[in-house]
Chain A
Amino acid sequence: MSVDLATVKRVARLARIAVTEDDANRMVGELNGIINFVEQLSEVDVTGVEPMTSVTPMDMRKRADAVTDGDKADDIVANAPVTDRNFFLVPKVVE
Protein backbone atom coordinates (compact mmCIF):
# COMPACT_ATOMS: atom_id res chain seq x y z
CA MET A 1 0.00 0.00 0.00
CA SER A 2 1.24 3.50 -0.61
CA VAL A 3 0.07 6.93 0.36
CA ASP A 4 -0.66 9.64 -2.22
CA LEU A 5 -1.16 13.37 -1.88
CA ALA A 6 -4.94 13.10 -1.59
CA THR A 7 -4.59 10.53 1.22
CA VAL A 8 -2.14 12.76 3.08
CA LYS A 9 -4.59 15.65 2.89
CA ARG A 10 -7.49 13.45 4.00
CA VAL A 11 -5.49 12.08 6.96
CA ALA A 12 -4.37 15.59 7.94
CA ARG A 13 -8.01 16.66 7.91
CA LEU A 14 -8.94 13.65 10.11
CA ALA A 15 -6.08 14.54 12.47
CA ARG A 16 -7.17 18.21 12.48
CA ILE A 17 -3.74 19.47 11.42
CA ALA A 18 -3.64 22.24 8.82
CA VAL A 19 -1.06 21.42 6.15
CA THR A 20 0.27 23.58 3.37
CA GLU A 21 0.76 22.16 -0.12
CA ASP A 22 4.51 21.96 0.61
CA ASP A 23 3.94 20.13 3.92
CA ALA A 24 1.63 17.66 2.25
CA ASN A 25 4.07 16.96 -0.58
CA ARG A 26 6.94 16.39 1.85
CA MET A 27 4.77 14.11 3.99
CA VAL A 28 3.93 11.86 1.03
CA GLY A 29 7.55 10.72 0.85
CA GLU A 30 8.06 10.50 4.61
CA LEU A 31 4.87 8.60 5.30
CA ASN A 32 5.55 6.17 2.47
CA GLY A 33 9.02 5.54 3.92
CA ILE A 34 7.47 4.63 7.28
CA ILE A 35 4.60 2.64 5.75
CA ASN A 36 7.10 0.64 3.66
CA PHE A 37 9.11 -0.04 6.80
CA VAL A 38 6.12 -1.32 8.80
CA GLU A 39 4.84 -3.29 5.80
CA GLN A 40 7.20 -6.17 6.68
CA LEU A 41 4.77 -7.14 9.45
CA SER A 42 2.48 -8.62 6.82
CA GLU A 43 4.96 -11.50 6.35
CA VAL A 44 4.38 -12.74 9.93
CA ASP A 45 2.00 -15.68 10.22
CA VAL A 46 -0.49 -14.67 12.90
CA THR A 47 -2.96 -17.50 12.38
CA GLY A 48 -4.72 -18.18 15.67
CA VAL A 49 -2.80 -15.42 17.51
CA GLU A 50 -4.84 -13.14 19.75
CA PRO A 51 -4.06 -9.41 19.53
CA MET A 52 -2.44 -8.07 22.68
CA THR A 53 -4.75 -6.06 24.87
CA SER A 54 -2.64 -5.84 28.03
CA VAL A 55 1.02 -6.64 28.71
CA THR A 56 0.24 -7.72 32.26
CA PRO A 57 -2.26 -10.49 32.91
CA MET A 58 -4.47 -8.47 35.23
CA ASP A 59 -8.01 -7.24 35.38
CA MET A 60 -8.32 -3.51 35.18
CA ARG A 61 -8.83 -2.11 38.64
CA LYS A 62 -12.23 -0.51 39.07
CA ARG A 63 -13.31 1.88 41.75
CA ALA A 64 -16.64 2.28 43.44
CA ASP A 65 -19.10 4.28 41.34
CA ALA A 66 -19.11 7.25 43.68
CA VAL A 67 -18.31 10.95 43.48
CA THR A 68 -14.79 11.28 44.91
CA ASP A 69 -13.65 14.56 43.47
CA GLY A 70 -15.04 17.90 42.42
CA ASP A 71 -15.53 21.58 43.26
CA LYS A 72 -12.50 22.44 41.18
CA ALA A 73 -13.97 24.54 38.40
CA ASP A 74 -11.40 27.29 38.92
CA ASP A 75 -8.54 24.79 38.68
CA ILE A 76 -9.99 23.19 35.59
CA VAL A 77 -10.24 26.38 33.59
CA ALA A 78 -7.07 27.91 35.05
CA ASN A 79 -4.92 26.92 32.05
CA ALA A 80 -7.47 27.57 29.31
CA PRO A 81 -6.59 30.19 26.68
CA VAL A 82 -10.04 31.86 26.75
CA THR A 83 -12.66 31.51 29.49
CA ASP A 84 -15.65 33.32 30.91
CA ARG A 85 -16.97 32.53 34.41
CA ASN A 86 -15.70 28.92 34.45
CA PHE A 87 -16.74 28.25 30.87
CA PHE A 88 -14.32 27.39 28.07
CA LEU A 89 -14.91 29.76 25.18
CA VAL A 90 -14.76 28.51 21.59
CA PRO A 91 -15.73 30.04 18.25
CA LYS A 92 -19.45 29.86 17.55
CA VAL A 93 -20.45 26.30 16.57
CA VAL A 94 -24.23 26.63 16.05
CA GLU A 95 -25.66 29.44 13.93
Chain B
Amino acid sequence: MTELTSLTIAEAREKLGAKEITSVELTKAYVDAIDAFNGTFNAYITTTPEKAMEMAKASDERRASGKVGALEGIPLGIKDLFATEGVHTQAASHILDGFKPKYESTVTQNLWDDGAVMLGKLNMDEFAMGSSNETSFYGPVVNPWKAEGSNQQLVPGGSSGGSAAAVAAHLCAGATATDTGGSIRQPAAFTGTVGIKPTYGRCSRWGTVAFASSLDQAGPIARDVRDAAIMLKSMASVDKKDTTSVDLPIPDYEAALGQSVKGMKIGIPKEYRVDNMPEEIEALWQQGIAYLKDAGAEIVDISLPHTKYALPAYYIVAPAEASSNLARYDGVRYGLRVDGKDIADMYEKTRAAGFGTEVKRRIMIGTYVLSAGYYDAYYLQAQKVRTLIKRDFETVFHAGVDAILTPATPSSAFGIADENLAADPVAMYLNDIFTVTVNMAGLPGIAVPAGLDKKGLPLGLQLLGKPFEEETLFRTAHVIEQAAGKFTPAKWW
Protein backbone atom coordinates (compact mmCIF):
# COMPACT_ATOMS: atom_id res chain seq x y z
CA MET B 1 0.00 0.00 0.00
CA THR B 2 1.27 3.47 -0.83
CA GLU B 3 2.07 5.72 2.09
CA LEU B 4 -0.99 7.72 3.01
CA THR B 5 1.04 10.92 3.16
CA SER B 6 2.03 10.53 -0.49
CA LEU B 7 -1.60 10.97 -1.62
CA THR B 8 -2.59 14.26 -3.23
CA ILE B 9 -5.72 15.96 -1.93
CA ALA B 10 -7.65 14.71 -4.96
CA GLU B 11 -6.41 11.13 -4.42
CA ALA B 12 -7.16 11.22 -0.68
CA ARG B 13 -10.63 12.63 -1.45
CA GLU B 14 -11.29 9.64 -3.69
CA LYS B 15 -10.08 7.07 -1.18
CA LEU B 16 -12.00 8.71 1.65
CA GLY B 17 -15.10 8.78 -0.55
CA ALA B 18 -14.70 5.12 -1.42
CA LYS B 19 -14.27 4.34 2.32
CA GLU B 20 -10.85 2.80 1.60
CA ILE B 21 -9.35 5.04 4.26
CA THR B 22 -10.64 7.23 7.08
CA SER B 23 -9.63 10.76 7.98
CA VAL B 24 -8.41 9.42 11.31
CA GLU B 25 -5.99 7.08 9.50
CA LEU B 26 -4.87 9.79 7.10
CA THR B 27 -4.44 12.38 9.83
CA LYS B 28 -2.56 9.92 12.05
CA ALA B 29 -0.15 9.27 9.17
CA TYR B 30 0.59 13.02 8.95
CA VAL B 31 0.86 13.44 12.72
CA ASP B 32 3.40 10.58 12.78
CA ALA B 33 5.32 12.05 9.82
CA ILE B 34 5.48 15.43 11.54
CA ASP B 35 6.64 13.76 14.77
CA ALA B 36 9.39 11.99 12.91
CA PHE B 37 10.59 14.68 10.53
CA ASN B 38 9.57 18.17 11.58
CA GLY B 39 12.81 18.41 13.56
CA THR B 40 14.65 18.01 10.26
CA PHE B 41 12.81 20.76 8.42
CA ASN B 42 11.54 23.15 11.12
CA ALA B 43 8.45 23.62 8.94
CA TYR B 44 5.95 23.70 11.82
CA ILE B 45 6.29 26.18 14.66
CA THR B 46 3.47 24.58 16.61
CA THR B 47 1.70 21.30 16.02
CA THR B 48 -1.80 20.52 17.18
CA PRO B 49 -1.97 16.70 17.04
CA GLU B 50 -4.80 16.35 19.56
CA LYS B 51 -6.93 18.92 17.81
CA ALA B 52 -6.10 17.25 14.48
CA MET B 53 -7.24 13.83 15.68
CA GLU B 54 -10.43 15.32 17.14
CA MET B 55 -11.18 17.13 13.89
CA ALA B 56 -10.46 13.94 11.91
CA LYS B 57 -12.81 11.92 14.11
CA ALA B 58 -15.53 14.52 13.71
CA SER B 59 -14.96 14.49 9.96
CA ASP B 60 -15.36 10.72 9.76
CA GLU B 61 -18.59 11.04 11.75
CA ARG B 62 -19.89 13.73 9.39
CA ARG B 63 -19.04 11.54 6.43
CA ALA B 64 -20.86 8.59 7.99
CA SER B 65 -23.94 10.78 8.36
CA GLY B 66 -23.70 11.80 4.69
CA LYS B 67 -22.27 15.31 5.15
CA VAL B 68 -19.20 15.67 2.96
CA GLY B 69 -17.45 19.01 2.49
CA ALA B 70 -15.10 19.89 -0.36
CA LEU B 71 -12.05 19.21 1.86
CA GLU B 72 -13.68 16.63 4.10
CA GLY B 73 -11.07 14.95 6.28
CA ILE B 74 -8.05 16.49 4.49
CA PRO B 75 -5.16 17.42 6.87
CA LEU B 76 -3.71 20.86 6.18
CA GLY B 77 -0.93 23.06 7.53
CA ILE B 78 -1.69 26.72 8.29
CA LYS B 79 0.79 29.55 7.88
CA ASP B 80 1.41 31.28 11.22
CA LEU B 81 -0.01 34.50 9.75
CA PHE B 82 -3.61 33.24 9.98
CA ALA B 83 -5.45 33.73 13.26
CA THR B 84 -6.54 30.35 14.62
CA GLU B 85 -8.72 30.46 17.70
CA GLY B 86 -6.87 29.43 20.85
CA VAL B 87 -3.79 28.33 18.86
CA HIS B 88 -0.35 29.99 18.56
CA THR B 89 -0.58 32.87 16.03
CA GLN B 90 2.55 34.99 15.97
CA ALA B 91 3.49 35.70 12.35
CA ALA B 92 6.75 33.98 13.41
CA SER B 93 7.59 37.08 15.45
CA HIS B 94 8.77 37.43 19.02
CA ILE B 95 6.64 40.54 19.47
CA LEU B 96 3.44 38.47 19.39
CA ASP B 97 4.84 36.23 22.12
CA GLY B 98 2.14 34.00 23.56
CA PHE B 99 -0.65 35.42 21.38
CA LYS B 100 -3.61 33.08 21.08
CA PRO B 101 -6.47 34.77 19.26
CA LYS B 102 -10.05 34.60 20.45
CA TYR B 103 -11.26 34.42 16.86
CA GLU B 104 -10.65 32.51 13.63
CA SER B 105 -9.54 34.04 10.32
CA THR B 106 -12.11 33.89 7.54
CA VAL B 107 -9.81 31.81 5.30
CA THR B 108 -9.21 29.12 7.93
CA GLN B 109 -12.85 29.12 9.02
CA ASN B 110 -13.78 28.47 5.37
CA LEU B 111 -11.44 25.45 5.37
CA TRP B 112 -12.90 24.00 8.59
CA ASP B 113 -16.42 24.63 7.29
CA ASP B 114 -15.47 22.50 4.28
CA GLY B 115 -14.31 19.68 6.57
CA ALA B 116 -10.52 20.18 6.60
CA VAL B 117 -8.31 19.12 9.53
CA MET B 118 -5.63 21.37 11.07
CA LEU B 119 -2.19 19.86 11.71
CA GLY B 120 -0.50 22.97 13.10
CA LYS B 121 1.02 26.36 12.34
CA LEU B 122 3.73 26.73 9.74
CA ASN B 123 6.97 28.65 9.92
CA MET B 124 7.45 31.77 7.80
CA ASP B 125 9.56 34.89 7.51
CA GLU B 126 8.73 37.26 10.38
CA PHE B 127 5.58 39.20 9.43
CA ALA B 128 5.98 37.69 5.93
CA MET B 129 9.01 39.92 5.31
CA GLY B 130 11.61 37.86 3.53
CA SER B 131 12.38 35.57 0.61
CA SER B 132 14.22 32.76 2.38
CA ASN B 133 12.35 32.05 5.63
CA GLU B 134 15.50 33.09 7.49
CA THR B 135 13.93 36.10 9.22
CA SER B 136 11.66 33.87 11.36
CA PHE B 137 12.06 34.20 15.13
CA TYR B 138 11.78 30.39 15.11
CA GLY B 139 14.79 29.85 12.84
CA PRO B 140 15.15 28.90 9.20
CA VAL B 141 13.21 26.16 7.39
CA VAL B 142 15.16 23.50 5.50
CA ASN B 143 14.19 22.81 1.88
CA PRO B 144 13.43 19.10 1.25
CA TRP B 145 15.38 19.49 -1.99
CA LYS B 146 19.17 19.19 -2.10
CA ALA B 147 21.51 19.69 -5.03
CA GLU B 148 22.77 16.42 -6.50
CA GLY B 149 25.85 15.19 -4.67
CA SER B 150 25.63 18.00 -2.12
CA ASN B 151 24.68 17.96 1.51
CA GLN B 152 24.25 21.73 1.79
CA GLN B 153 21.00 22.85 3.37
CA LEU B 154 18.96 25.08 1.06
CA VAL B 155 16.26 27.63 1.84
CA PRO B 156 12.68 26.80 0.81
CA GLY B 157 12.11 30.43 -0.23
CA GLY B 158 9.86 32.80 1.63
CA SER B 159 7.94 34.13 3.18
CA SER B 160 5.73 31.00 3.02
CA GLY B 161 8.76 28.73 3.44
CA GLY B 162 7.20 26.49 6.06
CA SER B 163 4.14 26.00 3.87
CA ALA B 164 6.20 25.07 0.81
CA ALA B 165 8.59 22.77 2.69
CA ALA B 166 5.76 20.99 4.53
CA VAL B 167 3.92 20.35 1.25
CA ALA B 168 7.06 19.16 -0.56
CA ALA B 169 8.14 16.92 2.35
CA HIS B 170 4.61 15.47 2.69
CA LEU B 171 4.11 16.86 6.20
CA CYS B 172 0.65 18.09 5.16
CA ALA B 173 -1.63 17.46 2.19
CA GLY B 174 -1.73 21.17 1.35
CA ALA B 175 -1.03 24.46 3.08
CA THR B 176 -2.33 27.98 3.34
CA ALA B 177 0.09 30.74 2.43
CA THR B 178 0.09 34.46 1.71
CA ASP B 179 1.72 36.56 -1.00
CA THR B 180 2.58 40.26 -0.68
CA GLY B 181 5.42 40.38 -3.23
CA GLY B 182 5.94 36.73 -4.18
CA SER B 183 5.67 34.89 -0.87
CA ILE B 184 3.54 32.08 -2.33
CA ARG B 185 5.05 31.75 -5.79
CA GLN B 186 8.78 32.00 -4.98
CA PRO B 187 8.73 29.26 -2.29
CA ALA B 188 6.51 27.10 -4.53
CA ALA B 189 9.11 27.45 -7.31
CA PHE B 190 11.96 26.59 -4.89
CA THR B 191 10.27 23.40 -3.70
CA GLY B 192 8.66 21.97 -6.85
CA THR B 193 5.17 22.75 -5.59
CA VAL B 194 2.27 24.75 -7.05
CA GLY B 195 1.28 28.09 -5.53
CA ILE B 196 -1.29 30.62 -6.62
CA LYS B 197 -1.73 34.20 -5.52
CA PRO B 198 -5.30 35.02 -6.46
CA THR B 199 -6.62 38.41 -7.51
CA TYR B 200 -6.58 41.01 -4.71
CA GLY B 201 -9.97 40.76 -3.02
CA ARG B 202 -10.61 37.07 -3.82
CA CYS B 203 -9.63 35.74 -0.37
CA SER B 204 -10.68 37.65 2.71
CA ARG B 205 -7.89 39.30 4.68
CA TRP B 206 -9.93 39.23 7.88
CA GLY B 207 -7.97 37.57 10.67
CA THR B 208 -4.74 37.48 8.66
CA VAL B 209 -1.93 39.40 10.35
CA ALA B 210 -1.44 42.48 8.15
CA PHE B 211 1.87 43.26 6.43
CA ALA B 212 1.00 45.56 3.50
CA SER B 213 -2.76 45.74 3.27
CA SER B 214 -3.06 46.85 -0.37
CA LEU B 215 -0.84 43.95 -1.51
CA ASP B 216 -1.51 41.01 0.87
CA GLN B 217 -3.47 38.08 -0.54
CA ALA B 218 -3.92 34.55 0.77
CA GLY B 219 -3.64 31.51 -1.46
CA PRO B 220 -2.70 27.82 -1.34
CA ILE B 221 0.55 25.94 -1.82
CA ALA B 222 -0.18 22.40 -2.99
CA ARG B 223 1.40 19.34 -4.60
CA ASP B 224 -0.17 19.88 -8.00
CA VAL B 225 -2.42 22.20 -9.97
CA ARG B 226 -5.57 20.25 -9.16
CA ASP B 227 -4.95 20.39 -5.42
CA ALA B 228 -4.30 24.14 -5.63
CA ALA B 229 -7.61 24.57 -7.46
CA ILE B 230 -9.47 22.51 -4.84
CA MET B 231 -7.94 24.51 -1.99
CA LEU B 232 -8.48 27.95 -3.51
CA LYS B 233 -12.16 27.22 -4.02
CA SER B 234 -12.50 26.64 -0.27
CA MET B 235 -10.24 29.50 0.83
CA ALA B 236 -11.92 32.13 -1.34
CA SER B 237 -15.12 33.82 -0.21
CA VAL B 238 -17.10 37.01 -0.23
CA ASP B 239 -16.63 38.40 3.27
CA LYS B 240 -18.50 41.30 4.79
CA LYS B 241 -15.75 41.58 7.41
CA ASP B 242 -13.17 42.63 4.78
CA THR B 243 -14.14 45.81 2.95
CA THR B 244 -11.81 44.93 0.05
CA SER B 245 -13.32 41.46 -0.40
CA VAL B 246 -14.88 41.45 -3.86
CA ASP B 247 -18.50 40.48 -4.36
CA LEU B 248 -18.12 37.96 -7.18
CA PRO B 249 -19.19 34.31 -7.23
CA ILE B 250 -16.40 31.74 -6.72
CA PRO B 251 -16.06 29.49 -9.75
CA ASP B 252 -15.37 25.75 -9.63
CA TYR B 253 -11.65 26.12 -10.39
CA GLU B 254 -11.16 22.37 -10.71
CA ALA B 255 -13.58 22.31 -13.66
CA ALA B 256 -11.12 24.47 -15.62
CA LEU B 257 -8.53 21.66 -15.57
CA GLY B 258 -8.34 19.67 -18.76
CA GLN B 259 -9.89 22.42 -20.86
CA SER B 260 -7.94 23.17 -24.00
CA VAL B 261 -5.68 26.20 -24.39
CA LYS B 262 -6.10 26.03 -28.17
CA GLY B 263 -6.31 29.51 -29.64
CA MET B 264 -5.40 31.18 -26.34
CA LYS B 265 -3.00 34.10 -26.65
CA ILE B 266 -0.01 33.81 -24.31
CA GLY B 267 2.11 36.94 -23.92
CA ILE B 268 5.90 36.74 -23.47
CA PRO B 269 7.11 40.01 -21.90
CA LYS B 270 10.58 41.01 -23.08
CA GLU B 271 11.23 42.96 -19.86
CA TYR B 272 11.39 39.71 -17.86
CA ARG B 273 14.61 38.78 -19.69
CA VAL B 274 16.87 40.37 -17.08
CA ASP B 275 20.64 40.86 -16.97
CA ASN B 276 22.64 37.94 -15.59
CA MET B 277 19.67 35.59 -15.76
CA PRO B 278 21.03 32.02 -15.76
CA GLU B 279 20.81 30.26 -19.11
CA GLU B 280 18.81 27.51 -17.48
CA ILE B 281 16.02 29.93 -16.60
CA GLU B 282 15.90 31.14 -20.20
CA ALA B 283 15.87 27.52 -21.42
CA LEU B 284 13.03 26.69 -19.01
CA TRP B 285 11.05 29.66 -20.28
CA GLN B 286 11.55 28.52 -23.90
CA GLN B 287 10.47 25.02 -22.89
CA GLY B 288 7.29 26.45 -21.36
CA ILE B 289 6.61 28.39 -24.54
CA ALA B 290 7.06 25.16 -26.53
CA TYR B 291 4.65 23.25 -24.23
CA LEU B 292 1.93 25.84 -24.71
CA LYS B 293 2.56 26.17 -28.45
CA ASP B 294 2.28 22.37 -28.81
CA ALA B 295 -1.04 22.54 -26.98
CA GLY B 296 -2.34 25.00 -29.57
CA ALA B 297 -1.81 28.34 -27.83
CA GLU B 298 -0.67 31.35 -29.79
CA ILE B 299 2.54 32.91 -28.48
CA VAL B 300 2.89 36.68 -28.80
CA ASP B 301 5.74 38.97 -27.80
CA ILE B 302 4.56 41.75 -25.53
CA SER B 303 6.04 44.66 -23.66
CA LEU B 304 5.35 45.69 -20.05
CA PRO B 305 7.59 48.76 -20.05
CA HIS B 306 7.39 49.65 -16.36
CA THR B 307 8.39 46.18 -15.11
CA LYS B 308 11.79 47.29 -13.79
CA TYR B 309 10.14 49.87 -11.56
CA ALA B 310 7.83 47.37 -9.82
CA LEU B 311 10.40 46.22 -7.26
CA PRO B 312 11.60 49.72 -6.25
CA ALA B 313 7.99 50.91 -6.04
CA TYR B 314 7.19 47.87 -3.92
CA TYR B 315 10.02 48.73 -1.52
CA ILE B 316 8.34 52.05 -0.86
CA VAL B 317 4.68 51.01 -0.76
CA ALA B 318 5.10 47.78 1.25
CA PRO B 319 7.35 49.21 4.00
CA ALA B 320 5.14 52.31 4.22
CA GLU B 321 2.05 50.19 4.81
CA ALA B 322 4.00 47.91 7.14
CA SER B 323 5.25 50.78 9.28
CA SER B 324 1.64 51.82 9.75
CA ASN B 325 0.24 48.29 10.30
CA LEU B 326 2.96 47.30 12.74
CA ALA B 327 2.46 50.41 14.87
CA ARG B 328 -0.11 48.35 16.81
CA TYR B 329 2.61 46.24 18.45
CA ASP B 330 3.28 48.43 21.43
CA GLY B 331 3.33 46.05 24.39
CA VAL B 332 -0.13 47.11 25.59
CA ARG B 333 -2.80 44.92 24.04
CA TYR B 334 -1.03 41.67 23.17
CA GLY B 335 2.29 39.95 22.97
CA LEU B 336 5.62 40.98 24.37
CA ARG B 337 6.16 43.84 26.80
CA VAL B 338 9.53 45.12 27.98
CA ASP B 339 9.17 47.55 30.86
CA GLY B 340 10.62 51.05 30.59
CA LYS B 341 10.97 54.17 32.69
CA ASP B 342 7.91 55.73 31.03
CA ILE B 343 5.40 54.75 28.36
CA ALA B 344 7.52 55.90 25.39
CA ASP B 345 10.51 54.01 26.77
CA MET B 346 8.31 50.93 27.19
CA TYR B 347 7.15 51.18 23.54
CA GLU B 348 10.70 51.62 22.26
CA LYS B 349 12.20 48.80 24.33
CA THR B 350 9.33 46.43 23.50
CA ARG B 351 9.63 47.05 19.77
CA ALA B 352 13.44 46.85 19.87
CA ALA B 353 13.29 43.45 21.57
CA GLY B 354 10.24 42.12 19.73
CA PHE B 355 11.01 42.84 16.08
CA GLY B 356 13.83 41.17 14.15
CA THR B 357 16.40 42.98 12.01
CA GLU B 358 14.54 42.78 8.68
CA VAL B 359 11.25 43.90 10.18
CA LYS B 360 12.93 46.86 11.88
CA ARG B 361 14.65 47.75 8.62
CA ARG B 362 11.34 47.84 6.78
CA ILE B 363 9.56 49.80 9.49
CA MET B 364 12.42 52.32 9.35
CA ILE B 365 12.21 52.62 5.53
CA GLY B 366 8.44 52.98 5.72
CA THR B 367 8.62 55.59 8.45
CA TYR B 368 11.25 57.50 6.48
CA VAL B 369 9.37 57.58 3.15
CA LEU B 370 6.18 58.69 4.90
CA SER B 371 7.89 61.34 7.02
CA ALA B 372 7.38 65.06 6.47
CA GLY B 373 9.11 66.33 3.34
CA TYR B 374 9.61 62.92 1.73
CA TYR B 375 6.02 61.76 1.18
CA ASP B 376 5.67 63.25 -2.34
CA ALA B 377 9.12 62.20 -3.54
CA TYR B 378 8.73 58.60 -2.45
CA TYR B 379 5.26 57.37 -1.52
CA LEU B 380 3.22 59.45 -3.96
CA GLN B 381 5.70 58.80 -6.78
CA ALA B 382 5.56 55.05 -6.06
CA GLN B 383 1.75 55.01 -6.12
CA LYS B 384 1.81 56.82 -9.47
CA VAL B 385 4.30 54.32 -10.85
CA ARG B 386 1.96 51.63 -9.58
CA THR B 387 -0.80 53.07 -11.76
CA LEU B 388 1.56 52.82 -14.75
CA ILE B 389 2.45 49.20 -13.93
CA LYS B 390 -1.23 48.30 -13.83
CA ARG B 391 -1.80 50.19 -17.09
CA ASP B 392 0.92 48.12 -18.78
CA PHE B 393 -1.03 44.96 -17.96
CA GLU B 394 -4.37 46.47 -18.98
CA THR B 395 -2.91 47.46 -22.36
CA VAL B 396 -1.76 43.93 -23.23
CA PHE B 397 -4.94 42.29 -21.94
CA HIS B 398 -6.96 44.79 -23.96
CA ALA B 399 -4.96 43.78 -27.03
CA GLY B 400 -6.26 40.23 -26.62
CA VAL B 401 -3.62 38.52 -24.48
CA ASP B 402 -5.24 35.88 -22.22
CA ALA B 403 -2.30 35.15 -19.93
CA ILE B 404 1.39 36.00 -19.58
CA LEU B 405 4.19 33.42 -19.20
CA THR B 406 7.37 34.30 -17.29
CA PRO B 407 9.96 32.53 -15.14
CA ALA B 408 8.88 32.40 -11.47
CA THR B 409 12.29 33.20 -9.97
CA PRO B 410 15.69 34.33 -11.27
CA SER B 411 17.41 31.24 -9.77
CA SER B 412 16.79 27.93 -8.03
CA ALA B 413 16.95 27.62 -4.21
CA PHE B 414 20.08 29.02 -2.59
CA GLY B 415 21.92 28.00 0.56
CA ILE B 416 20.85 28.82 4.11
CA ALA B 417 22.95 31.71 5.51
CA ASP B 418 24.22 32.74 2.07
CA GLU B 419 26.90 35.34 2.83
CA ASN B 420 26.33 37.57 -0.20
CA LEU B 421 22.61 37.81 0.49
CA ALA B 422 23.11 38.39 4.21
CA ALA B 423 25.37 41.36 3.50
CA ASP B 424 23.10 43.06 0.99
CA PRO B 425 19.35 43.42 1.68
CA VAL B 426 18.68 44.59 -1.89
CA ALA B 427 20.23 41.39 -3.33
CA MET B 428 17.70 39.37 -1.32
CA TYR B 429 14.88 41.64 -2.50
CA LEU B 430 15.77 40.83 -6.14
CA ASN B 431 14.36 37.33 -5.61
CA ASP B 432 10.91 38.81 -6.10
CA ILE B 433 11.71 40.60 -9.34
CA PHE B 434 9.32 38.46 -11.45
CA THR B 435 6.60 38.00 -8.86
CA VAL B 436 6.15 41.47 -7.40
CA THR B 437 4.59 43.06 -10.49
CA VAL B 438 1.19 41.41 -10.09
CA ASN B 439 0.95 42.35 -6.41
CA MET B 440 1.40 45.98 -7.46
CA ALA B 441 -1.39 45.55 -10.03
CA GLY B 442 -3.64 43.30 -7.89
CA LEU B 443 -3.63 40.54 -10.54
CA PRO B 444 -3.53 36.75 -10.07
CA GLY B 445 -0.34 34.73 -10.62
CA ILE B 446 0.46 31.03 -10.38
CA ALA B 447 3.82 29.27 -10.07
CA VAL B 448 4.02 25.79 -11.51
CA PRO B 449 7.09 23.51 -11.50
CA ALA B 450 8.43 23.02 -15.02
CA GLY B 451 11.83 21.39 -14.73
CA LEU B 452 15.06 20.83 -12.83
CA ASP B 453 18.28 22.75 -13.20
CA LYS B 454 21.74 21.18 -13.68
CA LYS B 455 22.02 20.74 -9.92
CA GLY B 456 18.77 18.78 -9.87
CA LEU B 457 16.81 21.55 -8.15
CA PRO B 458 13.28 22.50 -9.19
CA LEU B 459 12.52 25.57 -11.30
CA GLY B 460 9.11 27.12 -11.77
CA LEU B 461 7.27 29.03 -14.45
CA GLN B 462 4.77 31.72 -13.65
CA LEU B 463 1.51 32.58 -15.39
CA LEU B 464 -0.12 35.97 -14.84
CA GLY B 465 -3.77 36.63 -15.63
CA LYS B 466 -6.59 39.11 -15.80
CA PRO B 467 -8.44 40.09 -12.62
CA PHE B 468 -10.60 37.22 -11.31
CA GLU B 469 -9.61 34.91 -14.17
CA GLU B 470 -7.86 32.35 -11.98
CA GLU B 471 -9.57 29.65 -14.06
CA THR B 472 -7.43 30.63 -17.07
CA LEU B 473 -4.31 30.28 -14.92
CA PHE B 474 -5.32 26.85 -13.60
CA ARG B 475 -6.18 25.64 -17.09
CA THR B 476 -2.88 26.86 -18.56
CA ALA B 477 -0.74 25.74 -15.60
CA HIS B 478 -2.33 22.30 -15.89
CA VAL B 479 -1.17 22.06 -19.52
CA ILE B 480 2.40 22.85 -18.41
CA GLU B 481 2.15 20.32 -15.57
CA GLN B 482 0.89 17.64 -17.95
CA ALA B 483 3.81 18.27 -20.29
CA ALA B 484 6.56 18.76 -17.70
CA GLY B 485 5.45 16.17 -15.16
CA LYS B 486 5.61 16.50 -11.39
CA PHE B 487 8.76 16.86 -9.31
CA THR B 488 9.35 15.21 -5.95
CA PRO B 489 12.54 15.48 -3.90
CA ALA B 490 14.56 12.31 -3.37
CA LYS B 491 13.83 11.27 0.22
CA TRP B 492 17.01 11.72 2.30
CA TRP B 493 15.27 12.23 5.61
Contact = CB atoms under 8 A, between A and B. Distances in A.
Interface of B: 98-103, 199-201, 214, 240, 243-247, 306, 308-309, 312-313, 315-316, 323, 327, 330-337, 339-349, 351-352, 355, 360-361, 363-365, 367-369, 371, 374, 377-378, 380-388, 390, 424-426, 429, 441-442, 467
A15 B363 contact: yes
Given A18-B348, A41-B385, A90 B424 contact: no
B351 A17 contact: yes
Instruction: Give the size range of A's interface with the partner.
Output: 35 or more
A5 interface: no
Interface string A71-86: 0100110111110000
B351 A16 contact: yes
Interface in A1-46: 1, 3, 7-8, 11-19, 27, 30-31, 33-35, 37-42, 44, 46
A38 B385 contact: no
A60 B371 contact: no
Given A16-B348, A31-B361, A49-B387, 13 more contacts: A3-B368, A17-B364, A30-B425, A31-B364, A31-B368, A33-B424, A40-B312, A52-B384, A54-B214, A54-B244, A55-B441, A60-B243, A61-B247
A17 B363 contact: yes
B102 A75 contact: yes
Interface of A: 1, 3, 7-8, 11-19, 27, 30-31, 33-35, 37-42, 44, 46, 49-56, 58, 60-63, 72, 75-76, 78-82, 88, 90-93
Contact of B100 (A1, A30, A79, A90): A79
Contacts of A76: 102, 333
Contact of A79 (B245, B334, B352, B429): B334
Contacts of B245: 61
A79 to B, nearest CB: 4
25 contacts: A11-B364, A16-B348, A18-B349, A18-B351, A31-B361, A31-B365, A34-B426, A39-B312, A41-B313, A44-B385, A46-B385, A50-B384, A51-B383, A51-B384, A52-B383, A52-B390, A55-B390, A56-B201, A61-B247, A72-B102, A75-B102, A78-B102, A79-B333, A80-B334, A81-B332
Nearest to B100: A79
Contacts of B390: 52, 55
Nearest to A49: B384
Contact of B426 (A33, A75, A80): A33
B397 to A, nearest CB: 14
B333 A80 contact: yes
Contacts of A42: 377, 381
A21 to B, nearest CB: 13
The 4 A-B residue pairs whose C-beta atoms are closest, nearest first, are A55-B442, A51-B383, A81-B337, A18-B352
A74 B426 CA distance: 44
B197 to A, nearest CB: 12
A65 B429 CA distance: 43
A92 to B, nearest CB: 8
